[in-house]
Amino acid sequence: MSEQSEFIKRIGELLELAQDQENVIFEDQLFDIFPEAKDDSAKKQVLVDYLKEKKIGLNEKIDTDEFITQDEKKYIEYYLEDLKASKQLTKGEREAFRISAIAGDKDACDMVLRDYLVNVVDIAKLYAGQGVLVEDLVGEANIALVMALEGLGSLEHPEEVDGYFGKIAMDAMQDIIARHMDEMGENEKMVKKVEKVAKAAKNLSKLLARKVTVSELSEESKLSENYILSALKLCGNKIEEIEIPEDLK
């Protein structure tokens, strides 16, 4: 594996770790994956800036409120106030209800879901600013969570509930954003495609301190090479951070 491929692989590990930790990376974890950044403040700052672009904080969560509108903030306040009307579970009660839910108790399932719903707001904030209102992100996730209640029986331990519900909520929000993109006009879709590829290329180019190849960008961003090539053709190869393949010149 080349040095650059290894670097991109480590970026992927960093992003996966952040996803498992609610979009937070701790400094010791950053240095475990990128030991060269420990004594290089400039390289560390580049990595921190890259994480921030991905809404990932170092040692603490990023304030995602900056990505939402005032109307969305009002909706969130109303949503959370409604949840406060329900019984608030203690740590012991939460574990007991989750054990019962995993065992198939439907009333416990409903209680476990209601107890979890407050977390949906934090997840929605991570997907804010992508063309779908926070209200719609939350609503879509809540529907998906209700439909996923039967799946609680496949879990073995109560601690797995947060991860299970979190993935369901994130998948639902990603799906509604994808559907929104599909419903947009063709011209707007093309613009969004170019913007998406250009932003990903800019982030990776900054990390590598050079232009990036199509294959490198695909590996890091998880966008297909065909998607990236299509974006290049749409903008007439005007994404300057990408090394243009010979067959497109």
Distance of CA 248 to the CA centre of its chain: 32
**Residues of the chain above pLDDT 70, percent:** 98
Count of beta carbons in the 10 Å neighbourhood of residue 227: 17
* pLDDT, tens digit, 9 for 90 and up, residues 52-108: 878 888 998 887 777 788 999 999 999 999 998 888 899 999 999 999 999 999 999
At 67, list the tokens: 């990505």
Give the three-class secondary structure for 74: helix
Query: Does residue 18 carry a pLDDT above 80?
Result: yes
3-state class (DSSP) for residue 171? helix
At 1, is the pLDDT very low, low, confident or very high (cuts 50, 70, 90)? low
118 and 81 in contact (C-beta within 8 Å)? no
Q: Is 16 left (phi over 0), alpha (psi -120 to 50) or beta?
A: alpha
Could you tell me which residues are beta bridge partners of residue 58?
Answer: 25
3-state secondary structure of 21: coil
Structure-block tokens of residue 220: 């890091």
User: What token pair was written down for 201?
Assistant: 């290329």
Would you say 13 and 21 are in contact if contact means Cβ atoms under 8 Å apart? no
First to last CA, the chain: 28
- The percentage of the chain sitting over the pLDDT mark of 90, rounded to a whole number, equals 57
Cα-atom radius of gyration of the chain, to the nearest Å? 21
Element (H, E) at 15: helix 3-20
3-state secondary structure of 24: strand
In angstroms, rounded to a whole number, what is the distance separating the alpha carbons of residues 45 and 48?
A: 5
Dist CA 206 CA 25 (whole Å) = 20
pLDDT in tens, 154-192: 999 999 999 999 999 989 998 998 888 777 777 777 888
Give the tokens for residue 194: 């170019």
* Residues contacting 15, CB < 8 A, separation 6+: 54, 56
Tokens 């063709």 map to which residue?
186
> Quick one: pLDDT at residue 138?
96
Average pLDDT, the chain: 89
In the predicted model, what is the mean pLDDT of residues 130-159? 94
Global pTM value: 0.58
Task: In whole angstroms, give the CA distance from residue 123 to residue 216.
Answer: 29
Indicate the DSSP class of residue 151. G
